[in-house]
C-alpha cells in the first residue's frame, strides 16, 4: 500500500485551506508580507501538490507595496471553496482593507479584483446553504467566533455579525471553517495560540446560526505536551475524498535543536486521516510522520525545479519578494538567460529593497547561484525579516558575509574577488553543528542547523569556505512572527545579474 510522508507541503506554507472539485483538490496558504500573495496548489491525491499560481498576483488586486505592511503582516489565513461553478477565496489583509473576497472561473485564474467586506476580524470562511444563502464565519476582534450572512458578489453584509461560539476555553479561538455534513452543521476552529499549545476543536448545531454544542473530547487534536517531532498542530480544514474517506489539512512545525527547540522552516502543511465515531463526531489521531496514502489513483506531480536558468519570459510562481516587486526592479529580457535585479534600496535592514527568493523547504539543503555584480552590489540572503537575515554579498571587489541579528549588524567574513561572474553557495546542514561559543565542546551545540557560506560550489577544488554561522538566530523563536526562512537573490546597489539559481535538498526523501 502506498504511504505518504508529512509534511505534504514543506516549508513556509501555513494556514492551509482545501476544497475538492471532482477528482481535483485545490489548496491555498497564507503568504503574509510576500508578493505574489496566497500560493495556490493542485493535487489529485492530497499528497503530491504542484503550485499552479498565486491568487493575488496583480497590483490591481492589492496596492503594492502591501499597504502599511510589515514582517508577518499582510495576508492572513485564506479559505478556498467552490460553489455554483466558481472558485472563491476569502482572506484578510490585516495591514490595509481588512476582509475581502476574490473569485475565478478557473483555479489557474485570472482571479478577480477584491470585493471588500465591512467585517472586522481575521480568518474568514465561506459556506453556503442549499438555497444559496452564504455565511461568513470569522474570528472577531473581541475574541471568539462571529457569524455573518453575506453577499460575496456585492460585498454586502446582510445579517450580523453576531457571536456564535467561543471554543472550549483555550485562548485565541480562531480559524473557523463551517460545513454541512449530513443533518448537522459543524464548526471547526483553532485555539490555544499558534505556538506549542495550538489545537483543533469542533462544535455542531442544526443551523449556521447555532446554538453550538462542543465535542465532549475537545480539543479534537493537539500535540501540546507531547514528545512528537511535529508540534504546533492546528488551523485545520476538512475535505472528503471521492471514496468517501475524510481528511484534514493543518499546519504544524518541526522544531529542532537544544531545548526549548526552534523551528526555521516556518509552519508547514500536514495531512491526517479523519474518522467519525458512533455519535457523529470527527476523530483525529496524532498527526503521523508517515501514513497510508488516500485511496484511489496515485498521481505524482513534478517536483519544484531545483534549478532555474532564467530562460523563461516570466518568473515561476514559487518566486516571492517581500512587500512588493516593482516591474522595473527586475528583468528576464534585458540580458537573455539572466535575471537582472535593479536596486530599489541600499540595505536589507528596512523595507524597500530588491529581493527575489523561494521558501527553504528542507532542513538540509544547498543553494548555489552564479552572480555578475558588474559595478553593483548584491548576492544571496537567507531572510526571516529585516532584523534577522544572513547575507553573502559581492561588490566593490570583495565578497562579504554579513549577519543581522536584532540590533546587531556585523560583517563576519570578507575576501577580495576578481571581477566577472562568481559562484556563491549557502549550504545548510543539521549535523556537525558549529558550537554556540568557542568555549563549548562536544554536546555544547544549541542550534537547529549550521549555515556555511562558500565562494564557489563546495564540490569544486578551489572553493573557499568563508564562515559558518549558527542557524538558531534565523528561527521563528528568535525573530518572532509567523513566517519561515526564504532564500534568494538581492541587489542593494546598481544592477546585478544572476545566470542561474539552484536549490538542492541534501538527501532524497524516503522511498
Active-site positions read 15, 174
Rounded to 5°, angle at Cα 362 from 387 and 313: 80
Cα(456)–Cα(473) distance, integer angstroms: 25
Among 60, 37, 75, residue whose Cα is nearest residue 321: 37
> Are 309 and 500 within 8 A, CB to CB?
yes
> Are 390 and 469 within 8 A, CB to CB?
yes
Q: 485: which residues sit within 8 A by CB, 6+ positions away?
A: 12, 264, 265, 266, 359, 360, 382, 383, 384, 474
Grid coordinates representing 312? 523563461
Cα(495)–Cα(334) distance, integer angstroms: 11
How many other CB atoms are found less than 10 A from the CB of residue 68?
11
Name the residue with cell 499597504: 67
Cα(351)–Cα(110) distance, integer angstroms: 28
How would you list the strands of the sheet with 115-116, edge to edge? 75-83, 86-93, 98-104, 115-116
- Measured in whole angstroms, the distance separating CA 9 from the mean position of its chain's CA atoms is 9
Cα(232)–Cα(420) distance, integer angstroms: 46
What is the SS3 assignment for 186-253? EEEEEECCCCCCCEEEEEEECCCCCCCEECCCCCCEECCCCCCCCEEEEEEEEEECCCCCEEEEEEEE
Cα(164)–Cα(464) distance, integer angstroms: 61
Among 64, 66, 112, residue whose Cα is nearest residue 92: 66
> Are 170 and 199 within 8 A, CB to CB?
yes
Kindly give the residue spans of alpha helices, DSSP state H, lying in 361-488.
Answer: 476-479
Strands 34-35 and 24-28: unpaired
Strands 213-214 and 199-205: antiparallel
Among 70, 56, 52, 58, residue whose Cα is nearest residue 9: 52
Amino acid at each position: 500500500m502506498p504511504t505518504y510522508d508529512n509534511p505534504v507541503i514543506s516549508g513556509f506554507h501555513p494556514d492551509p485551506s482545501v476544497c475538492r472539485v471532482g477528482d481535483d483538490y485545490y489548496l491555498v496558504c497564507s503568504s503574509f508580507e510576500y508578493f505574489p500573495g496566497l500560493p495556490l496548489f493542485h493535487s489529485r491525491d492530497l499528497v503530491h501538490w504542484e503550485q499552479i499560481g498565486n491568487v493575488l498576483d496583480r497590483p490591481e488586486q492589492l496596492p503594492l507595496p502591501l499597504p502599511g505592511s510589515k514582517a508577518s503582516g499582510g495576508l492572513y489565513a485564506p479559505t478556498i471553496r467552490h460553489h455554483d461553478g466558481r472558485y472563491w477565496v476569502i482572506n484578510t489583509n490585516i495591514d490595509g482593507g481588512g476582509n475581502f473576497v476574490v473569485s475565478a472561473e478557473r483555479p489557474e485564474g485570472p482571479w478577480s479584483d477584491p470585493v471588500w467586506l465591512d467585517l472586522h476580524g481575521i480568518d474568514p470562511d465561506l459556506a453556503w446553504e442549499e438555497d444559496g444563502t452564504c455565511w461568513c464565519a470569522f474570528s472577531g476582534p473581541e475574541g471568539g467566533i462571529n457569524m455573518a450572512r453575506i453577499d460575496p458578489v456585492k460585498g454586502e453584509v446582510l445579517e450580523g455579525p453576531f457571536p456564535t461560539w467561543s471554543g472550549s476555553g483555550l485562548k485565541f479561538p480562531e480559524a473557523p471553517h463551517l460545513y454541512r455534513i449530513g443533518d448537522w452543521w459543524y464548526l471547526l476552529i483553532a485555539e490555544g495560540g499558534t505556538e506549542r499549545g495550538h489545537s483543533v476543536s469542533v462544535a455542531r448545531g442544526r443551523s449556521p446560526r447555532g446554538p453550538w454544542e462542543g465535542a465532549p473530547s475537545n480539543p479534537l487534536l493537539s500535540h501540546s505536551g507531547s514528545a512528537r517531532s511535529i508540534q504546533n498542530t492546528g488551523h485545520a480544514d476538512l475535505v472528503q475524498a471521492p471514496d468517501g474517506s475524510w481528511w484534514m489539512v493543518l499546519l504544524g512545525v518541526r522544531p529542532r535543536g537544544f531545548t526549548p527547540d526552534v523551528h526555521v522552516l516556518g509552519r508547514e502543511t500536514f495531512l491526517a486521516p479523519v474518522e467519525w465515531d458512533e455519535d457523529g463526531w470527527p476523530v483525529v489521531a496524532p498527526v503521523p510522520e508517515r501514513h497510508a496514502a488516500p485511496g484511489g489513483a496515485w498521481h505524482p506531480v513534478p517536483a519544484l525545479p531545483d534549478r532555474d536558468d532564467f530562460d523563461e519570459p516570466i518568473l515561476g510562481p514559487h518566486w516571492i519578494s517581500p512587500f512588493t516587486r516593482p516591474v522595473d526592479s527586475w528583468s528576464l529580457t534585458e540580458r537573455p538567460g539572466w535575471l537582472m535585479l535593479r536596486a530599489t534600496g541600499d540595505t536589507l535592514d528596512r523595507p524597500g529593497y530588491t529581493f527575489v527568493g523561494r521558501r527553504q523547504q528542507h532542513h538540509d539543503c544547498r543553494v548555489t547561484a552564479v552572480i555578475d555584480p558588474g559595478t553593483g552590489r548584491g548576492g544571496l540572503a537567507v531572510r526571516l525579516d529585516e532584523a534577522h537575515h544572513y547575507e553573502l554579498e559581492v561588490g566593490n571587489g570583495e565578497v562579504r558575509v554579513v549577519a543581522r541579528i536584532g540590533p546587531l549588524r556585523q560583517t563576519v567574513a570578507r575576501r577580495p574577488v576578481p571581477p566577472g561572474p562568481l559562484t556563491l553557495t549557502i549550504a545548510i546542514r543539521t549535523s556537525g553543528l558549529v558550537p554556540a561559543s568557542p568555549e563549548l565542546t562536544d554536546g555544547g551545540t544549541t542550534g537547529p542547523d549550521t549555515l556555511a557560506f562558500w565562494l564557489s560550489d563546495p564540490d569544486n577544488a578551489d572553493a573557499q569556505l568563508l564562515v559558518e554561522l549558527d542557524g538558531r538566530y534565523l528561527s521563528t523563536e528568535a525573530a518572532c512572527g509567523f513566517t519561515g526562512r526564504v532564500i534568494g537573490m538581492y541587489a542593494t546597489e546598481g544592477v546585478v545579474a544572476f545566470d542561474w539559481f539552484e536549490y538542492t535538498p541534501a538527501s532524497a526523501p524516503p522511498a
